[in-house]
Amino acid sequence: MTQTFRTHSAEETIEVGAQLSALLPARGLVLLIGNLGAGKTTLTKGIARARGAAAEEEVSSPTFTLIHEYGEPALVYHIDLYRLDEASEVASLGLDEIMNRDALVVIEWGERFPELWPEERWEIRIEAVDEDQRVIEVRGLSKK
Ligand SMILES: Nc1ncnc2c1ncn2[C@@H]1O[C@H](COP(=O)(O)OP(=O)(O)OP(=O)(O)O)[C@@H](O)[C@H]1O
Ligand SMILES: [Mg+2]
């Protein structure tokens, strides 16, 4: 089942993220798929806020730090694999262990390493239609 949303501002995308939070499981893997600047980090702000894990402004791009952890204990892991080139580099981050925790694991640029992920995951595709418009498609690849 695919659900589609259309947003016209970053704020609307944050709200879609907050709505999606209710649809997504407490724990599990979410791949955020979309070009540079599509709105992957923006959407994560809404997810983290709705889970009570972090305020919007506390959610920033993990481009350099690779892994951000929101909540105490962690409810949402926010990971960005943009700067990694090899699956072996990704493996060294210890994501297997993180994916076993009781938390939602949200990964930007995860589609670059398809062999690493369990079949049971969610995929959220964000496409920039123009400067401010985004189409967001959500697909659960197995039951919740
Ligand atoms: N409808 C919209 N939804 C989301 N972001 C939007 C929208 N309209 C404009 N923007 C702008 O697009 C940018 C999205 O940035 P964001 O960091 O969320 O993208 P990203 O997909 O995480 O990029 P990166 O690949 O660099 O990590 C922000 O500057 C935001 O203000
Ligand atoms: Mg980002």
Residue 144 has pLDDT above 50, yes or no: no
Atom of ligand 1 nearest to the CA of 133: 1
Average the pLDDT over 60-73 and give the result. Answer: 93
β-pair partners for 28: 104
Average the pLDDT over 76-87 and give the result. Answer: 96
Closest among 84, 90, 71, 77 to 44, alpha carbons compared: 77
Determine whether the shortest distance from the Cβ of 93 to ligand 1 is under 6 A.
Answer: no
Q: For residue 124, how far is its CA from the centre of ligand 2 (angstroms)?
A: 13
pLDDT of residue 141: 80
Q: Who's near 83: CB < 8 A, 6+ residues apart?
A: 63, 64, 66
Atom of ligand 1 nearest to the CA of 132: 8
pLDDT tens column, 34-59: 999 999 999 999 999 999 999 999 99
pLDDT tens column, 12-34: 999 999 999 999 999 999 999 99
Determine whether the shortest distance from the Cβ of 39 to ligand 1 is under 6 A.
Answer: yes
pLDDT of residue 64: 85
Q: Average model confidence (pLDDT) for the chain?
A: 95
Report angle CA 83, 46, 36 to the nearest 5 degrees.
30
Determine whether the shortest distance from the Cβ of 132 to ligand 1 is under 6 A.
Answer: yes
In the chain, what are the domain boundaries?
2-136
- CATH says 2-136 is which class? alpha beta
**Best mutation site among 12, 15, 42, 63 for ligand 1, i.e. most ligand atoms within 8 A of its Cβ?**
42
Residue 143 confidence class, pLDDT cut points 50, 70, 90: low
Is residue 140 within a helix (H) or strand (E), and if so which, with residue range? strand 134-140
Q: Which ligand is nearest to the CA of 112?
A: 1
pLDDT of residue 26: 95
pLDDT tens column, 97-130: 999 999 999 999 999 999 999 999 999 999 999 9
Q: Where are the beta strands (DSSP E) in 34-113?
A: 67-70, 76-80, 104-108
The least confident of 38-42, 63-67, 69-73, 110-114 is 63-67
